Chain A
Amino acid sequence: MNFNFKHEWIETNIGLLAVLTMLAISVGGLVEITPLFFIDKTIEKVDGVRPYTPLEQRGRDIYQREGCYLCHSQMIRPFRDEKLRYGHYSLAAESQYDHPFQWGSKRTGPDLARVGGKYSNEWHVQHLTAPRSMVPESVMPNYPWLKATPLDTSDIAERMKALRKVGVPYSLTDAEYKANVAKFGETVAKQLHIPNAQQSLIEQANFGNYDGDRSGISEMDALVAYLQVLGTMVDFGKYKDDAFVNDR
């Protein structure tokens, strides 16, 4: 078969070259951009997903600072072995307030998308301080300084303002606060209100006492609070097992 095609035709016709170049580039553009027009369709409609509270958000910052994501993913894939080990597959809706998301694909350690509530606070504290005292075969590093380092709570409002700019509904004005009350309920909305941020962080840390030490708020308090909320916001008991199958 010989199409007798000569690139000379294109190269010697500047108009045709311009049109074909634009076509070729627009394919790449369309593949990248078009799915974004449909992103709302792929975010499942579920109840319960809310932005992180100030304390959880600080824990998340520490999670990133310590590079936990280098060994732990937060993305349960829709496979039988993953469902049996970790629980329901992760929904897009569950990471809608994550900036940046922590999905990842590197699993030296287990997936953490639904680690919340699986172990006691005490286990997390001991395991983060000395992993091999709880899991003998673990290769995780020790993080003994988390419990010894007081949490810097002074800049939480600034951190939340930055996240608000990229679309997390932390409220700054009364109108935003009221919208949050309607959307998340009053208890949650109070914690998402930036003017109260530092106070609600301290209240949650003192009430939860995540690190088992009441003498102060440590980085361990924040990190354990974050770990304990992971994957717990959606009550999957409310949904049938094929509820999310048509979102893909």
Chain B
Amino acid sequence: MSEQKLQSQTVQTTGHAWDGDLQEYNNPLPVWWVYTFYVTVVFALVYWTIYPSWPFGKGWIGGLSNITYVNSDGETKTHSWNTRALLLEDMNRAAIAQKPYFDKVAAMSYAQVAKDPDMNGFILSAGKALFSDNCAPCHQAGGQGVVGFFPNLTDDDWLYGGSFDKIHETITGGRHGYMPTFSEVLSPEQIDQLANYVASLSGIGHDATKAAAGNVLFHSETAACYYCHGADAKGRKEIGSANLTDNIWLWANVPAASSAEGKVAAIRSVIASGLNKGVMPAWAGRLSPEQIKVLTVYVHELGGGQ
């Protein structure tokens, strides 16, 4: 009882008393809390006038804050503040900063860009960023490719050609590899003979008798391999057929096989099932012409450019 009396002296009550001695405390909110609340109200009012906020009429209140930037055509544009306008400002500021470099890239020939020491740093850094974002998922971070799937870009073996113009053509328009399924036209023995012949071209252990028969088959109308791979089996870059004589393998996973039989079997499986892969997407819609030019030089300089 005495404690309750003490409290009732220090804390205000509502003044009511029920059942004789039941009282209700009147605890006001702490002053710091009340003033913080008033500050948030003022903050909201200020925020609403500066930034886009309330729906109004047929749109919404844009706010007093504006974003002004100079676009690529040199025009000054102003929009009321929003994140999309902020992005435009950011993109255009960066574009203006990079313009001297990209203008230089656009004006120079590929060979000039590759040789210019000033441009090397730009190509290396801009090209590496572009390559990592767009090319590395297939061709891997260093451009080494994946045997069986995506070609190595660091060697001097090119399916479609390794000149600046050909690399540019490949990036711009994409590629699609194709080889017919020979298991439907040839017998397993004939495919085995062809595989041994192809192995012999790269100096891989093979059966000489089968290889000799495969040689005949390769240049015959039955298998007609020479149509695409050429009479010398060195491939034709205009259609992207592989050079079979250089012991560099993309589709047949020959390097993974340890025995000579395994290597021949890897070649055999490609001849039997054919290829309808080696699809590279076209990048013309995704990347700007300048970006493609930077990438062309970057890929060319990976080591294998011709």
Contact = CB atoms under 8 A, between A and B. Distances in A.
Interface residues of A, number: 37
Given A123-B138, A245-B79, A80 B84 contact: no
A37 B77 CA distance: 30
Contact of B280 (A84, A120, A248): A120
A41 B277 contact: no
B55 A35 contact: yes
Contact of B91 (A83, A121, A122, A237): A83
Interface of A: 8, 34-35, 37-38, 41, 77-80, 83-85, 87, 89, 117-123, 126-127, 133-136, 212, 237, 241-242, 244-248
B216 to A, nearest CB: 32
A79 B276 contact: no
A248 B85 CA distance: 9
B60 interface: yes
A85 B137 contact: no
A87 B59 CA distance: 28
Contacts of B71: 241-242
B285 interface: yes
Contacts, number: 84
A242 B285 contact: no
Given A119-B137, A120-B279, A78 B86 contact: yes
16 contacts: A38-B55, A78-B83, A78-B84, A78-B87, A79-B90, A83-B91, A117-B286, A123-B138, A134-B149, A135-B137, A212-B277, A241-B71, A241-B91, A245-B84, A245-B85, A248-B52
Contacts of B222: none
B281 A119 contact: yes
Contact of A117 (B86, B90, B281): B281
Contacts of B4: none
Given A38-B59, A247-B84, 7 more contacts: A8-B14, A37-B55, A118-B286, A120-B281, A122-B278, A133-B146, A134-B149
A129 B70 CA distance: 47
Nearest to A127: B137
A241 B55 contact: no
Nearest to B282: A117
B51 to A, nearest CB: 11
B91 to A, nearest CB: 6
Contact of B88 (A127, A136, A237, A245): A245
B26 A8 contact: yes
Given A41-B58, A87-B286, A134 B137 contact: yes
